[in-house]
């Protein structure tokens, strides 16, 4: 269905996430389609949400899902996009690797709950954006108070200075916002974080790039 819509409307689609069966394993997978409807990339959620807070909540994704092994960055007609799913947004190293590989935009489909959503959903998006001086977009399910898992909602677009460019509430909605990649360059020129990092004291190692050299 997403492939057909992408082809008919001539748009790039980052298609949320769905369960993907591969052999005897099940992954939480996000598919990216180009304007011809072709599957450009698949991101399998790397970080599984396993928590156990006595008396409050137990949620063990690893009982059902297998963790993905590969960061996913894809070149599209609308720029180079790094993909994460939900819990992946909490791990700044993944975002840093995407930034180092030249991403303009990070997309995180996700469904934070009513506890973590109000405190962390926007905070994490703004942190990933401002740390890496790029755009961050998220898409959450609308809130269904009668569901077994109640999502916070608030799909959002964040700019490279940590500014909120567009945001929904918790109901079903469509938001349209413009992204100007030249603003990234301006922010990076004015605040040259990448040049000022102390590579002599600390480094983030991109295993995949290391192995391909």
Q: Is the pLDDT of residue 147 over 90?
A: yes
Render pLDDT for 149-192 as a digit per residue (tens, 0 to 9).
999 999 999 999 999 999 999 999 999 999 999 999 999 999 99
Report pLDDT for 194: 92
- For the chain, give the percent of residues with pLDDT over 90: 92
Under 8 Å between Cβ of 158 and 125: yes
Report pLDDT for 55: 83
Domain extent listing, the chain: 1-211
Report pLDDT for 117: 96
* CA distance readout (Å), 192 to 29, 134, 163, 184: 34, 13, 18, 11
* CA distance readout (Å), 186 to 21, 103, 104: 43, 16, 13
Residue 208: pLDDT band (50, 70, 90) is confident
Render pLDDT for 15-44 as a digit per residue (tens, 0 to 9).
999 999 999 999 999 999 999 999 999 999
Q: Is the pLDDT of residue 212 over 80?
A: no
- Among candidates 34, 45, 32, 28, which has minimal Cα distance to 9? 34
Q: What is the mean pLDDT of residues 99-120?
A: 96
Mean pLDDT of the chain: 96
Q: What is the mean pLDDT of residues 40-56?
A: 93
Report pLDDT for 53: 84
Question: What pTM value is reported for the model?
Answer: 0.95
Q: What is the mean pLDDT of residues 110-132?
A: 97
Q: Tell me, which fold does domain 1-211 have in CATH?
A: Nitrilase/N-carbamoyl-D-aminoacid amidohydrolase (3.60.110)
Angle at the Cα of 101 from the Cα atoms of 100 and 107, rounded to 5 degrees: 95
- For the chain, give the percent of residues with pLDDT over 70: 100
Report pLDDT for 162: 98
Q: Is the pLDDT of residue 56 over 80?
A: no
- Among candidates 39, 38, 31, 34, which has minimal Cα distance to 15? 31
């Amino acid at each position: 269905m997403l492939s057909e819509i992408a082809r008919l409307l001539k748009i790039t689609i980052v298609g949320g996430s769905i369960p993907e069966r591969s052999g005897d394993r099940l992954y939480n997978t996000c598919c990216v389609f180009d304007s011809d409807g072709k599957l450009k990339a698949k991101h399998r959620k790397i970080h599984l949400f396993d928590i156990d807070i006595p008396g409050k909540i137990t949620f063990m994704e690893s009982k059902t899902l297998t963790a993905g092994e590969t960061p996913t960055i894809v070149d599209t007609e609308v720029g180079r996009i790094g993909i994460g799913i939900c819990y992946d947004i909490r791990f700044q190293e993944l975002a840093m690797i995407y930034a180092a590989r030249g991403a303009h935009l990070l997309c995180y489909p996700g469904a934070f709950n009513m506890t973590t959503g109000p405190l962390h959903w926007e905070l994490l998006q703004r942190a990933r954006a401002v740390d890496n001086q790029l755009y961050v977009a998220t898409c959450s399910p609308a809130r269904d108070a009668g569901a077994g898992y109640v999502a916070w909602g608030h799909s959002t677009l964040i700019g490279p200075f940590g500014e909120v460019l567009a945001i929904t509430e918790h109901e079903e909605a469509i938001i349209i916002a413009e992204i100007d990649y030249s603003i990234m360059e301006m922010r990076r020129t004015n605040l040259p974080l990448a040049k000022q990092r102390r590579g002599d004291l600390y480094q983030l190692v991109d295993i995949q790039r290391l192995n391909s050299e």
